[in-house]
Amino acid sequence: MRIVIKVGTSTLAHETGKLNIKRTTDLCGVLSDLKNAGHEVILVSSGAIGMGVGKLGLSEKPKDIPTKQAAAAVGQCELMYTYDRNFTEFGQTVAQILLTGSDFSAEDRHENFTNTLFKLLELGVLPIINENDTIATEEIKVGDNDTLSALVAVSAKADLLVILSDVDGLYSADPHKDTNAKLIERVQGCPAELFDLAGGEGSALGTGGMRTKIKAAKLCVENGADMVIANGENPEVLYEIVNGNLGGYTRFFAE
C-alpha cells in the first residue's frame, strides 16, 4: 500500500511547546516498520512554526507574518533534524519537500513535484512534506496541512491517508457538550451532512479542525483513496489502520 500520514503539532509536541520525544520516536519507529513490511510511506508533518517558537525562545506564537515566517525557517530545520536523526536510527533515508498552493495549481510545477516524489519512493526514500511557510503568503498558500496532506495523497495516487490528530475521530455530536456523542467508525464516501457535524469556525469541534479534515476526506474518497482520522497519542494505532481493523477511529471509504 502507498500511505500518506499527516501529523500535527499537537501530536509532536507537549503542551509546553517542547518536543514530545517518546511520541516522535514511536512514530518514526512505526513508520519505519511499515516501510520494512513493504508499504510506501509519505509523511506530511506540521511543527515548523511551533518548533521555531521553542528554538528562538519566543514567549508565544508570533502574530505578524515576518516573525511567523522566520520562526518557520528556524523550526523547519529543527523538525527535519529531529526526523533525520530518528529515522536514521531505524535505517531509513528521508527527504524534505516544501510546497505551496501554487505548486498544485501550476501544471509544470505539479509535474515536477510528482516526478520527484515517485523517484524518491522508487529509491526507497521516505519523503517528508510541509507547506513552505517561509514564502507562502495568503494568496498562494494551501493554508492547513489537512488539505495539504489530501492534495499530496491524490497527487501520489495513495491508497490511504491517515490524519493523526488529538481527537479519536469524527463524533455524532460535539463530545464536549453531549455525553451521548458516539465515535463514527465507518463512513461510506463523504456525505454532505457530515459538514454539519464539524460545526462552524470557532465551535468546539471546528476549533479542533474537523472541518478541514472532512474536506480532506471528501477530496480523498472522490479520488479513490480511503481516509482515516485517528488519535496520534499512540502511533501504534497505525498497525490496526493499515491492517484494516476497524475500531477506535473514523475511516472514510473511497467511493
Residues that bind ligand GLU (CB under 6 A): 8-9, 46-50, 130-131, 133, 144-145
Q: Please, what is the minimum distance in Å from the beta carbon of residue 144 to ligand GLU?
A: 4
Nearer residue to ligand GLU within complex by CB, 8 or 232: 8
Q: In 3-state terms, what secondary structure has residue 220?
A: helix
Nearer residue to ligand GLU within complex by CB, 35 or 213: 213
Q: Please, what is the minimum distance in Å from the beta carbon of residue 180 to ligand GLU?
A: 30
Question: Left, alpha or beta for 161 (phi > 0: left; psi -120 to 50: alpha)?
Answer: beta
Q: In 3-state terms, what secondary structure has residue 177?
A: coil
Q: Are 164 and 44 in contact (CB under 8 A)?
A: no
CA 154, 158, 160: angle at the middle one, nearest 5? 105
Which DSSP helix (H) or strand (E) runs through 237? helix 237-242
C-alpha distance from residue 157 to each of 6, 9, 91, 130, 196 (Å): 16, 25, 26, 18, 29
Q: Please, what is the minimum distance in Å from the beta carbon of residue 219 to ligand GLU?
A: 15
Q: Please, what is the minimum distance in Å from the beta carbon of residue 232 to ligand GLU?
A: 12
Q: Are 25 and 66 in contact (CB under 8 A)?
A: no
Nearer residue to ligand GLU within complex by CB, 92 or 145: 145
Whole-angstrom distance, CA of residue 65 vs CA of residue 99: 18
Nearer residue to ligand GLU within complex by CB, 64 or 122: 64
Nearer residue to ligand GLU within complex by CB, 46 or 86: 46
Q: Please, what is the minimum distance in Å from the beta carbon of residue 210 to ligand GLU?
A: 13
